[in-house]
Amino acid sequence: MKEYTMSRYSDAIKDSLLSLLSVDSVQGESAPGAPFGKGTREALDRLLTLAASFGLKTHVVDGYCGWAEIGEGELLGVPFHLDTVPFGSDWSHSPLGEIAVEEGKEIIYGRGTEDDKGPAIAVLYALKSLLDEKRVPRRRIRLIAGLNEESGWKCIERYLMSEEIPSLSFSPDADFPVIYCEKGVLHAVISLKKPAEILSFSGGERVNMVADRATLEVTSLSDAAFSKCLKGGVKVKFIAGGFRLSAEGVSAHGSTPDKGENAILKILYAVKSSSESLADLYDYFHASSGEGLGIKMENEEIGDLTMNVGRVETKGDRILFSIDVRYPAPHTEEELIAILKKTLGEDAEITVQGRHLPLYVSPESELVTSLLAAYNEVTGESARPIAIGGATYARAFPNAVAFGPIFPLEESRIHQKDEAITLEGLLKCAEIYRAALLKLAF
C-alpha cells in the first residue's frame, strides 16, 4: 500500500467508518428530533460527536441536517449525506460494515462506503490532519451533513432556510477528478391506462435505482412469451385467473441505468409478444436513451440524456411508472414534459415528483482549478474537469462542484449489492481532500 500523509490515521479512519456503517440510516419513520428516522439521526450524532472531539463547533438543524465547522472568515462548505438507499439483497458481506482481505488488500464493505459515509470520514480526517499540524485556516470550513439526499433533499432545503450559505463549496459525492457540470434531473410518475390483461405489476424500490426485482400478474400468456420467459430467466407460476411472472435484475444508480439489469424491463421484454398493449409498454420504456418516449437527447460535452425506470405499480385501472431522467443543458424540464405528453397521448398523466436544474461552474474558477490541482498532485495525473449525469448537493449551493470519491475507470458499486471501498482507495481520497483543503482554506 502506498504511504500517504493520511496513512498515519489508517486505523482511526477504519474504526470511525465502521462505526458509521453500523448504523442503518435508510430513511425511516419520522420521530421527535429525527424527521427522516432514528437511524439517520444516530448517524448524524455519531459524526458530529467525532467532529467535536477534533475541536470543531457543531450544530443540529431540527434533526434535518447538521454541521461542524472551524476557523474564521469566508465560509467554505463541504456538503455530504449520511442517509443511504436500501440495502437490497444477496450481499456477500454485511451491508452494516465488514472488512475483508482480498488479494492482499483490505476492503471495507457496507452501504455508504462510497455513497457517502466513506467520503465524509475521509474529509473529516483530512481536516483533522491539518489541524493536528497546528495550521490555522484562512477560511472557515463547515462540513454539512444531510440526512435526506437519497429521498428528496428536504434536509438541504431546511438548511438553506436558516443557515449560512457558503461562498464556495465542494461535495465529495460523485467522481474525480472534479465535476464542473451536472445534467438536469427530472423524477416523474407516468400514469397510463392499465392494459386489460394485467392483473397487477410491481417492482423496484426507488426511482433513482435500477429495479432489481419485479412481479407481473397477467390473465394470459402467449406461447412465444412463455418460451421467452423460460429462456430469459423470468419465473412463471400458474395462479387463479392467469400467470404470475417474477424476475430479478441487477441494481445500479439511476444515472447509469446501463450498468444494471432492470427487472421491470426484463419482464416486459419477455411478455411483449402477448399483446399490443404490453408491446407498447416495452417500447416506451426499454431504451435508457429515452428514445421510446421521444426524449432522446445527445450532447458530446455534457453527455447524452439517460432514462431509468425505477418503480412500477398498479392502482385501480392505472399503471404507474416512476422514471429518473438525466438531461443535458440547454434542454429544459418543460421541453421534456411536452415531448412526453405528445408521445404518450392525452390519456397519460405525468406528475413531477422531484427536479434538479443543471449545474455549471467555470473550469477556470478558483474552485475548479484548486481542486483539479489537488487531485493531479496526489495522483500524478494531468486530468481535466468532467461533466456527469448524477445529482449532488453541489447543485444546492452557489459556486459549488462535486469532487470524488470515485476514481476514473474504477468499478463502483454505488446503489448496488456489495458496495465497498478499499482502504488504500479511502486513504488516497483523504490525501486528495487534505490537499484540496490546504489550497482552498489554509
Q: Which domains does the chain have, with CATH numbers?
A: 5-182+361-441 (3.40.630.10), 184-356 (3.30.70.360)
Q: How far apart are CA 127 and CA 345, in angstroms?
A: 54
Is-catalytic flag, 102? no
50: cell is 467525532
Q: How confident is the model at residue 102, as a pLDDT?
A: 95
pTM, whole model, 2 decimals?
0.74
Residue numbers in the chain where pLDDT is lower than 70: 1
Q: How far apart are CA 245 and CA 222, in angstroms?
A: 13
Q: How far is CA 126 from CA 147, 169, 441, in A?
A: 22, 16, 12
Active-site entry in 24, 69, 116, 149: 149
* Dihedral (CA of 114, 83, 324, 280) sign: positive
Q: Which of 349, 348, 305 is nearest to 327 (CA)?
A: 305
Q: How confident is the model at residue 281, as a pLDDT?
A: 97
As a whole number of Å, the end-to-end CA separation of the chain is: 28
Q: Which of 420, 319, 362 is nearest to 109 (CA)?
A: 420
Q: How confident is the model at residue 1, as a pLDDT?
A: 67
Active-site entry in 83, 116, 182, 217: 83
Is-catalytic flag, 83? yes
